[in-house]
Amino acid sequence: MRIIKHQQQSYPESLIEQENIVASILQNKTQNTLILTEHPPIYTLGTSAQESDILTRHIDGEDILVYSTGRGGEVTYHGPGQLVCYVIVNIEHEKDLHQHVWRLEEMVIHTLAAFDIHGSRDKRGIGVWVHGLKIAAVGVRCRKWVTFHGIALNISPNLKHFSGIVPCGMQDAPVTSMHELGIKASRQDVEKYMIDYAKQNFCL
């Protein structure tokens, strides 16, 4: 599996990069790819998003961009301190997007376990939760059985920025982060576990 790391990139830039990799995989010109990145503060709208789920675009004197995207899901937040994992893989042999989402969640659950955080799934929706608080959001898209987009884990983002939206369309889905839970891990600490899991479970 190919690993690409960016310290930070704009959300539109990341979409272009993903689209290019999807096209290359479909042409058998490149291998399955994991992109690890962060974005400047932005609210992204999935295909099921409602404009009313954006409560405000101005928090702590900062304007937060809003961007419509083709991924599944509703509205979510991306920002510094959040590790975004875009998993671009060909799942044509199994044709099971639910299994792919399960693997994304499992990647975060295994990573959190390495820091003694018990992450789990919740009947309220996809993603990873800790004590009823959402710590990682999932949104995926699939083109000719090549997946893109992925999962975003809150390591140390500004949690106030989540107050500007109804996360994933759920009023009862407050968020948390690793730092909020008392685990002061760095992005580098977290990445190595993500990469290990991805290499073992997404090299399909």
Catalytic residues: 168
Q: Are 26 and 144 in contact, with CB atoms under 8 Å apart? A: yes
How many residues in total does the chain contain?
A: 204
Residue 55: both structure tokens together = 């409560």
d(C-alpha 182, C-alpha 20), whole Å: 38
Contacts of 57 (CB under 8 A, 6+ apart): 43, 63, 64, 65, 66, 164
d(C-alpha 77, C-alpha 93), whole Å: 32
Residue 125: both structure tokens together = 């929706």
- Nearest to residue 135, comparing CAs of 112, 166, 110, 163? 112
Dump the DSSP string for 124-177: TEEEEEETTEEEEEEEEEEETTEEEEEEEEESS--GGGGGGB-GGG-TT--B--
